[in-house]
Amino acid sequence: MNKFTALLKKDYFVNRKSLLTPFWITAVFYILIILFLTIGYFKGDLNFGDLRFEGENIPMPGLAFLINIGLLTLPGFIALLFTITITQGALNEDLRRNCELFHRSQPVSYWLRSLSKFTIRIGGNWAVLLIIAIFNFIIVNIIVAFLGQFHPGAALSGMMLSFLGFAKITLIIGSMTFFLSSVFKDKAFFTGLGILLGVHFLFLILNALLGWKLPLPFNYFIDLTKSGYELDIHGEQELANFHGMAKEMWKYAIWNVKTLWQILVSGVFFALATLIYNSKEVK
């Protein structure tokens, strides 16, 4: 078996419960929705016959596009939360389990060990989010089609654009957390975030008292996590021009300097984390 494949399997089984938790959260969410709809239907408060998307004034392709962007909001934040949770201990878990020395004695490069941990914790959450996104897409768009309208191209474009946005956010925050796990032993993300905020407010005070123009680090961090596109819809005309709107949003989501910068910064975080991880003495 390929060494890297074996490492991936090992890291997957170690983190399987955390990776699969978003599936259970999504399942509970759907069960609650079905329960509320059932209660509403039998009590007579909900009439499915009234839920029809009809009328020439409703720009359905644009609306389907936006609906499928919004569908991934909650799962996206859940995936981000679990990325932080399992990544902030990525380079310390073997030390806590007293098996770090065993893994280091194996004929495997420390770069491969680090890459395996990075891939499972960030790429694994991407895979989970994508599966949830596809499931949401199928269920919701079957319902929308049943109610009278279905625009598969617009819906799929919205879903994938939303997934890409959250994938970029989890990449930059996950890689930063991965780096922090090589520096701090416990609660790495929150410790690093606290230090960042501390420096930010210190710079704010110095700028206010001394008239300096020190860069504010937290502002740069927030700007770096942005997906690259913004939803700024005014009226039905913009929704009706779905192709132009979608084209512009895809352009700013992929072909821009920020995307390249996010990838480069994530790569730097990974490299620094791996070097620090390898330099630590194992007792």
Q: DSSP letters of 171-232?
A: HHHHHHHHHHHHH-SSSHHHHHHHHHHHHHHHHHHHHHHH------HHHHHHHHHS-S----
pLDDT, one tens digit per residue, over 86-121 is: 998 888 877 776 666 666 667 778 888 899 999 999
Instruction: Specify the higher pLDDT residue, 100 or 28.
Output: 28
pLDDT, one tens digit per residue, over 52-91 is: 554 444 456 777 777 888 888 888 888 899 899 999 888 8
CA distance 109 to 253: 35
At 271, the pLDDT band (50, 70, 90 cuts) reads very high
CA distance 26 to 69: 17
Region 229-244 average pLDDT: 54
| DSSP annotation of 71 | T
Q: How many CB atoms lie within 10 A of CB 128?
A: 22
Judged against a pLDDT cut of 90, whether residue 225 lies above it is answered with: no
CA distance 58 to 113: 53
Supply the range of the domain harboring residue 10: 3-279
Domain count, the chain: 1
CA distance 256 to 103: 40
